[in-house]
Structure formats: structure tokens, C-alpha cells
Amino acid sequence: MRIYNIIRCRSVRLTGVLSVFVLLCCSISMSAQLRISNERGGSALRKLAIAEMATTSLYVDSVDENKLVEDAIRGMLEKLDPHSSYATPKEVKAMNEPLQGNFEGIGVQFNVLEDTLLVIQTISDGPSEKVGIIAGDRFVSVNDTAIAGVKMPKEDIMKRLRGPKGTKVKIGVKRQGIDEIVYFTVTRDKIPLNTVDATYMICPGIGYIRIGSFGATTHKEFIDAVVKLQEEGRTSGSPLKDIIIDLQENGGGYLQAAAGVLGEILNDKELLVYTEGRSVRRQEYRAGGSGIFRQGRVVVLVNEFSASAAEIVAGAIQDQDRGVIVGRRTFGKGLVQRPIDLPDGSMIRLTVAHYYTPSGRCIQKPYEKGKLKDYAMDIENRYKHGEFTSADSIHLADSLKFYTLKEHRTVYGGGGIMPDVFVPLDTLKYTKYQRELSAKGIIINANLKYASKNRKSLLKKYPTFENFEQNYQVPQSLIDDIFAEGDKQKVKRPEEAEQLQKTREGITMILKALIARDLWSMTEYFRIVNAHSDVINSALEQLK
């Protein structure tokens, strides 16, 4: 009783678990609070508060109260579904930044090569480009602190380069052809984060748009991409008629961003998705927007890593009979999280509802509460069961049958979006040797060195991507260097000549794509990679 009386009397200091739960209660309606109070007498809340206060006040050793509270919250959420989670203030910032559409920094894309930051591209009209920093520059110091040759973690380098808009940072640069260190003072600014990775005319009349995630700027980026394709079509004499939307590996993002994209494709007021939960009434989302592409045909590409908002887009287009879904069954993430901000900047993301496609299919795949390991192993288990290589290995019960809204085609629930056209995973496309070389970073590091050293000569010889695509050949010496580095790092070469030749071909293709990316952009990377993609070829067959 002594501990309970202490807690009851300490009305001015609500700490730890107690303060968290008071905050949560404040977000619940008053009627719900009264119902809970009447039904339970607040016993569960008192019990938790007593346990927290007893531990912090009486435990034999000192305890970190903040960590104790965080562990308690994590423990509660881990017993629920796989997507309810807790994030620290630092994790919240890192989680939100890619979706917010911008961050504040110096505006370079970089990679770390041999313990040195190497600039891959500068953001067009960004702070670094304005002062004269160029692709291929190597950063050796930031504000007189050495960052090269000191094994500084990539995250620490980023902290030094990023900062509030308007602040200045002095960067020491080693540039090829110049012996001394060159110094630049860069004024930080807001840097856009694009979510549309690539846009180009893949065939006459057929546009390709790859969306990497759904963030705050995705809707506008999508409109800009369609406008660009329409203009290219008019200029080339082959007007844009159809589009391929690539959502492979798209892990999702903002629901509103997905709804915005769908609003440009589906007819006004058509149902896109709805949410419903135990304490959350059904809420429908319907198409709006300008409808910039409501006439031409649409093909959507998905795979096992397409999730959440990507599944909403695929499910709506399929259920409304607006287009064809090509690829493999999607991830199956159909739980709606409500963010609950806590006083210290941390956050609880609590699942409150399910996503349902227009036909009524629940996107979420089955799970058992608290069994997070089993849930995490789902993709690997699907691979082992042969689902990625054969559509016949996917067995769905008749009870999971649903029907599209216009043509009444059969579609299936049970988790994820089943494609209309199945494209098996080519498990033989890349050899084990190539995968191991890639995993150790040998291929990407060889590319970074080569592109940095030869950038000027390559751009002089191949002033346009079209010229590069048609005429550039990856030098054999670069492949030999990769194999030699593999030997040095004890990556065993295959004994079969066929496997070795297949590895050469695979590495040659990916190197050409990476070099094109470093010379131009991600669009050029995908232009080369897509030319060798079975999923892309299947999509083109559907349209042709």
C-alpha cells in the first residue's frame, strides 16, 4: 500500500509508463475513458504504474528510468501484430526523412570508397553545385576535421555534412589532376528527396515510370513524369499511349501519396481503398485529382518486396479493371498504423485498422500475435516452397475468391496482391560467384574507382546516353580487376568455364548500368537493366 499511496499522491509528477499512458488516454474519447474506468476501475493502469515506480524507487541497483519505460513499451507492442512499433526520437527522424520530400544539407549523392567520401552526383542547382563541387571529387575534411583515412562511419560523416538551412560548412576536396587540397564553403539548404527513380520512353508510345517509395512529393513527381513522357512522345512523333508503373521493391509510404497517384489514373470518385478496425469505423478513399492519365493502358510491376502503399495501388488498379498486374505476389502488409507522438519526440506506431482493396480483399497476410520471427521468415519460406519460381505452387482456397468490380474477374485475398500475369524469379540469372563478389562490395567499388578516374574521358567520347548505350563496351581489364580482387578476398572462382563466362556477362551488364548511373542518373541505370528484365519483357508483351 505504501507504493500505491506514493503514486496516488504524486499528482504533479507523472513519469515513465504512467505519463505515457496518461498521454494515450488523452487521445481516447472521454466516453471511452469513462467506459474503461467503469469496467476495469483503472486496475491495469495502476498495476503498471506501481510496477514502474517500485522498480525505480526500490530496486537494489540504479536503473535508467527512460530505458525501463522504453523496454516496457516495446514489450507490450511485441506481443501484438508485426507492425506495431516504438521508435526513439532519433529513429523517428530517420524514419520520417525519406518520406518528407526534403532534408537540409549540401546536396550531393555519394558513396564511401576506400575510407573516402566520393561524390557520385551533385543535386542540380543545389548548394554544392553552386560553389563548384563536381562528380568525382573526394571529400577529405569537413570544418577542418579529417574524414578520409580515419575510418569514420558513414553516419558520422553525414552528421557533419547535414545541418540547418543557411548554416555554412567548409569542405576540403581532393580533385583529380590537382595536387593540393581545394576548399569550398557550402551554405546548406533544403535538398529534395525524389521518390520517382526513373522516367523514360521504353518503346514508341509506351512510357516507363519507376516509383521507389510513396512520399510527400510522389504525387507531384508522378504528374511531372507523365507530362515529361507526353512531351517526349509529341517530340518524337509517337504520342504516349500506355504506361508501365514499376513498383518492384517499393516498400510503401504515405497512403495519401498512393491515393494521389491513383487519382491520376482511375476515374473520379472510384473507390481506391478502405480501412476498418475494431475501434475505427470504415473510412473510404476515392479517386480525385486532375486525371492526367485516365485513357491509356496501364501495367503495374510488382514482386515479393512490394508492400503497403504499393499494394494499395496495385490492388485498386486490379479491382477496378484499370490495368494488368505483372510479376509475383506482393509482400502482404495491410495493417494501418496510427502514430502517437510522445513528449520526448519518440513515437508509438499502433496498428488500428486493416487495408481492404475495393473488392473487399484484406491486403494483410496471416500472422500470429507475438510471433515476429515467423513473420520475418515468411519471404524465405515462400521462396523455399517454390512460390517465386512456379505459379502452380501457390494454393489458394475458394473462400478467398473475390471478383473485380467491372469485368468480374476472379482475384484472390489471403494476403498480398496476386498478379494477373505471373513472372517467375530467374534463379539462374546471376551465378553464385557473382552474388558473392557483389555481397563483398567488390563490383561496386571497382565501378566507383573506374567512373571516378575516367569520367571526363567517357563523357567526351560518349556525350549522350544514346551514344553510350550503343557503343560503350566494358573493358576486359575492369572485369579482370574484379576477379583478381575476388581472389584476394578468397571468393572462390567457379571451375566450370560456362559459369565463369556467365559471370562475366552478368558483371558486364551491371557495370555498364552503374557507369551510366554515375555519368547521368538512375533513369539511365534502369534503361540498361530493364533491357535484360523478364518482368519488363512480359509487361511489353501485354501492351504489344
Residue 93 among the catalytic residues: no
Contact between residue 215 and residue 254 where contact means Cβ atoms under 8 Å apart: yes
Give the distance, in angstroms, between the CA of residue 221 and the centroid of all CA atoms in the same chain: 16
Q: Of the listed 308, 346, 452, 521, which one is catalytic?
A: 308
> With the C-alpha atoms ordered 127, 132, 137, 142, is the resulting torsion angle positive or negative?
negative
- Torsion from C-alpha of 474, 475, 480, 481, nearest 10 degrees: -90
Nearest-angstrom CA–CA distance, 465 and 430: 26
The x, y and z cell numbers of residue 383, run together, are: 521462396
Residue 319 among the catalytic residues: yes
Contact between residue 247 and residue 314 where contact means Cβ atoms under 8 Å apart: yes
3-state class (DSSP) for residue 161: helix
Give the distance, in angstroms, between the CA of residue 102 and the centroid of all CA atoms in the same chain: 15
Strand partners, 235: none
Residue 308 among the catalytic residues: yes
Q: Of the listed 319, 359, 518, 533, which one is catalytic?
A: 319
Nearest-angstrom CA–CA distance, 373 and 82: 9
3-state class (DSSP) for residue 532: coil
> How far apart are the two ends of the chain, measured CA to CA in Å?
78
Contact between residue 359 and residue 417 where contact means Cβ atoms under 8 Å apart: no
Nearest-angstrom CA–CA distance, 65 and 56: 6
Q: Of the listed 85, 213, 333, 538, which one is catalytic?
A: 333
For residue 119, give the H/E element and its range: strand 116-122
* R_g of the chain computed on alpha carbons: 27
Left, alpha or beta for 223 (phi > 0: left; psi -120 to 50: alpha)? alpha
Contact between residue 263 and residue 312 where contact means Cβ atoms under 8 Å apart: no
The x, y and z cell numbers of residue 406, run together, are: 467491372
The x, y and z cell numbers of residue 466, run together, are: 544514346
3-state class (DSSP) for residue 348: strand
- Residues forming the active site: 308, 319, 333
